[in-house]
Amino acid sequence: MLGDREGLSGKAAEQYLLERVAIVAAIEHFTAHMGHWMLNAKALDEAGIDPTMLDLLRWHAAEEVEHRAVAYDLARHLDRRYMRRARAMIVVAPLMGVIWLRGTRFMIANDPELRGLPAPDRKRKIGWRALRRAGKRGLLPRPRELGGAALTYLKPKFHPSQEYSTSQAVAYLASSQAARAAH
């Protein structure tokens, strides 16, 4: 969906480019939502996650919140039509769900820390029910919440600056142990 397409020129190439920018903007709405969630999910602190890994995740989360309006503003600058934005979200929302599920399965299948588990446990497919359970424990955003984020994006007057906190994100970026160590 985001790759180059052979043989397009002129107006068609321009339209395809606008469509891709609109799709990136819609994806960025979800990454910002996930970022905000991750910065505020207290349950992650008590879940026994490796602290460096959690810090790296939260650093990325903060970075997603911080730049949440960039793709949106570019998309709107190039094409202000509501239909373009709405269509992009309608395409992206179900796709993000599928990609996240696949990504989660991939990570679990390849996590060396889980290698000690019996094979059936490792191979067991992670389905929507498992994700919902994790959501109840506060370890993942709830599917309903993600659906709500998609609907927010469809509001005609929506702008990413209306949600989430840039100051919280910037404060985390400044205090992240991993970022400090990298400097």
Report the residue from 26, 29, 31, 146 that binds Fe ion according to the rule CB under 5 A: 31
Question: Shortest Cβ distance from residue 10 to Fe ion (Å)?
Answer: 30
Rounded Cα–Cα distance for residues 115 and 128 (Å): 23
Query: Binding to Fe ion (CB under 5 A): which residues in 40-79?
Result: 64
Rounded Cα–Cα distance for residues 163 and 34 (Å): 12
Rounded to an integer, what is the distance from CA 150 to the centroid of its chain?
Answer: 12
In this complex, which beta carbon is closest to Fe ion, that of residue 91 or of residue 134?
91
Question: Shortest Cβ distance from residue 67 to Fe ion (Å)?
Answer: 6
In this complex, which beta carbon is closest to Fe ion, that of residue 144 or of residue 159?
159
Per-residue contact string for residues 9-28; x = within reach of Fe ion by CB under 5 A: -------------------x
Alpha helices in 41-118 (DSSP H): 51-66, 70-78, 82-110
In this complex, which beta carbon is closest to Fe ion, that of residue 20 or of residue 122?
20
In this complex, which beta carbon is closest to Fe ion, that of residue 55 or of residue 64?
64
Site size with Fe ion, rule: CB under 5 A: 3
Rounded Cα–Cα distance for residues 32 and 85 (Å): 16
Query: Binding to Fe ion (CB under 5 A): which residues in 109-138?
Result: none
In this complex, which beta carbon is closest to Fe ion, that of residue 19 or of residue 64?
64
Question: Shortest Cβ distance from residue 148 to Fe ion (Å)?
Answer: 20
Give the Å distances, CA to CA, from 180 to 14, 27, 52, 59, 177.
Answer: 42, 28, 12, 11, 5
Angle at which helix 51-66 crosses helix 10-40, to 10 degrees, equals 130
Record the tokens describing residue 106, joined without a space. 């991939």
Q: Which residues bind Fe ion (CB under 5 A)?
A: 28, 31, 64
